[in-house]
Amino acid sequence: MPVITTKDGIEIFYKDMGSGKPVVFSHGWPLSADDWEPQILFFLGKGFRVIAHDRRGHGRSTQTSEGHDMNHYADDLAAVTEHLDLRDAIHVGHSTGGGEVVRYLARHGEGRASKAALISAVPPLMVKTEANPGGLPKEVFDGFQAQIAANRAQFYHDVPAGPFYGYNRPGAKPSQGVIWNWWRQGMMGGSKAHYDGVVAFSQTDFTEDLKKIALPVLVMHSEDDQIVPYADAGPLSAKLLPNGTLKTYKGFPHGMPTTEAETINADLLAFIKG
Active site residues: 95, 225, 254
Asked if residue 220 lies in contact with residue 249, where contact means CB atoms within 8 angstroms, the answer is yes
Return d(Cα 190, Cα 213) in angstroms, integer: 32
Nearest by Cα to 139 from 72, 202, 189 = 202
- Number of residues written out for the chain: 274
Asked if residue 159 lies in contact with residue 9, where contact means CB atoms within 8 angstroms, the answer is no
Q: What is the DSSP string of 105-163?
A: HHHH-STTEEEEEEES---S--B--SS-TTSB-HHHHHHHHHHHHHHHHHHHHHHHHTT
Return d(Cα 134, Cα 185) in angstroms, integer: 31
φ, ψ at 136 (rounded to 5°): -85, 145
